[in-house]
Amino acid sequence: MPRTLSIVLKPARAQHNIPSGQASYDVYLNGVFFDQLYYNLRGYRGYLPTPEGKSLDIGEKSLSAYKKEIANLNREFAAHPQGSSITATALGRKAAS
């Protein structure tokens, strides 16, 4: 059975140039860096991968809203027949350095 992809949030490394006081989070798709969520005055911003190979922007939302959307997307990846062939690099994202 092919391995299903999953989206995971991990706290980003401390960035001393961000004065907001809110933590940033790295978004990983199957262990490969995809994007970063950052705090932007009214909520977190960033992109999440979709099973169709696109990037999803849900706007300025709370961290819990992003976690709920990630749970929904992970269920979609598990049900998507092409899900195992999508990678972060296929979506045009750079690998974390």
**Per-residue model confidence (pLDDT) at position 41:** 86
Please state the pTM of the whole predicted model: 0.77
The CA-atom distances, in angstroms, between 56 and each of 3, 27, 59, 65, 81 are 22, 12, 9, 13, 19
**Per-residue model confidence (pLDDT) at position 85:** 54
Q: Using DSSP, how many helices (H) and how many strands (E) does the chain show?
A: 1, 6
**Per-residue model confidence (pLDDT) at position 48:** 97
| pLDDT per residue rounded down to tens, the chain (97 residues) | 455 679 999 999 866 555 557 889 999 999 999 999 999 889 999 999 999 889 999 999 999 999 999 999 999 998 876 655 555 555 555 544 4
